[in-house]
A and B are shown apart, each in its own frame.
Chain A
Amino acid sequence: MLLTTTKEKDLLVVTLTTKEASLKNSEEFKTAMSQFLEEGHKKIVVDFRDVNYVDSSFLGALVSSLKLAMANHAEMFLSNLNKDVYNLLQLIRIDKVFTIYKDNEEALKQSQN
């Protein structure tokens, strides 16, 4: 299974349960995100706690999901990024378009404001 979900107030927490977020699971991720948006979720945080490696296919899926979220007037955040993954996002400036939180608690707190 690629991901699990929990609900904290109005925030949907999508936890990736894979070490490698890559071409192998990017389409599945995109489909799942579009389903969550279709179901009407307006605040979604993607939790990367187990992810060590993200390839360009998965980054494409992340960005594409963000665009879809914006079109649905929903917000999409990232949390629990490890140092290497965060550095990569920063290096290619994807950190500028996502709101990144240290953990889900912070995501929940900030998203309630």
Chain B
Amino acid sequence: MIQEIIEKKVLLVEDDIFSSMMMEKGLQKAGYKCLVARSAEEAFTILKNEMPDIILSDYEMPDMNGFDLRKQLIKDPRLKNIPFVFLTANTDEEMMLKGLKLNAIDYIIKGTSFPVIISKLDNVLEVVRNQHELSVQELKKAAEAINIKSIPANAPETKGFHIDFWHRPYEDYPGGDFIDFIKINEDCTFVILGDVMGKKWKAWFFTFGYLSYIRSVTRFLVLNKEFSTAKILKKINELICLDEALADIFSSLSLLMIDSKNSVVLYSGAGDLPLAYYNAETKEFKKIQAQGLLLGLKYNADYDEQTISMHNGDQLMLFSDGLIDFIKENDKQSDYDLFFSNIHSLAGNKNSFQNIKTKIISGTGNNVQADDASIIFIQKNQACY
């Protein structure tokens, strides 16, 4: 696994070339990545592509001064929360107060020694980090308290089949992947793997809207003796398209129905990655691709349904897109075929699931995690009728 090195990034806004060079050198020496803007306008250009951890800005600059820069930043929801520290030669208290009212975190008087400047910046970042962690903990606690889970604790016992799953959130935040198992009776279990587009909290929040529809539609249609995954998926999509709160939110979904009595799996997919299927008799390892569109995209979309006969030792694997990103020639790229060929040799033995998991976790497949990653593994065992 390629680990991204976490570095502290500071945007230094300073029109004086000599001061900015000195400051840049000192910051770099203290381990900061330093972005330098010679004017407020240049700072905005940099901020279009960069998100520094902190901004250190001179007050006295031609055209737009530090105060005006701060005022503009506050107006931008993306930039307003970046900690902002004024750098000034002026020790006028009234001016300092004016800056602090603009939510500037601190002032640094020019000429302050480097160790003091670095300590101040480090302290600000430490406080921000701690606050952020606290908020995340609070949200996690609240979610646990009301018992909302987008990932179940265990896989269900299913007659004649073994089911397992693995999930790893992106950067340890709950995200858009969701897994669910709906056990209808001894012979029938629905398996669900979805991925709400987006990352972290926003995507995670919408997984519950999606899961509620999926659970209720599946239960309702099954009550009416409808077990077709295609028909269930079509109905889920229709309801989601009608829900204005989800108008801008899209999700992939793999929906499987395990029929233990007939040893078959029904499969329909909405914008999902192909399943991997291992046939124990022929030793063939192949992709099974659905044709359906992402949920939420088109009201009257139709979904196809495939019937997969499962014999002893056959395996089915479902994946979310966080598994298929790789670093190639220094650039991040998505490559499902490469992922598929990486796991090919691991299919078809009794430790397949463990081995695939180990390979992904250890990063020996050269994959880089850029999103939530999930696998559901289904194996046909000796039927016990």
Instruction: Mark A residues whose CB is within 8 Å of B.
Output: 1-2, 18-20, 22-28, 52-57, 59-60, 63-64, 67, 84-85, 87-88, 91-94, 96-97
Contact = CB atoms under 8 A, between A and B. Distances in A.
Contact of A93 (B45, B271, B370): B271
B335 A84 contact: yes
A93 B294 contact: yes
Contacts of B274: 91
Interface residues of B, number: 39
Nearest to A17: B49
Contacts, number: 87
A92 B331 contact: no
B334 A59 contact: no
Q: State the main secondary structure of chain B at its contact with A.
A: loop
18 contacts: A1-B48, A2-B48, A18-B49, A27-B78, A52-B332, A53-B331, A56-B176, A56-B197, A57-B197, A63-B297, A67-B247, A84-B334, A91-B273, A92-B252, A93-B291, A93-B292, A93-B293, A96-B293
Contacts of B176: 56
Interface string B326-344: 0000011111110000000
Q: Which of B198, B272, B292, B325 has the most CB of A within 10 A?
A: B198
A52 B331 contact: yes
A63 B51 CA distance: 25
Contacts of A22: 370
Nearest to B273: A91
A14 B51 CA distance: 23
B293 A84 contact: no
A97 B334 CA distance: 20
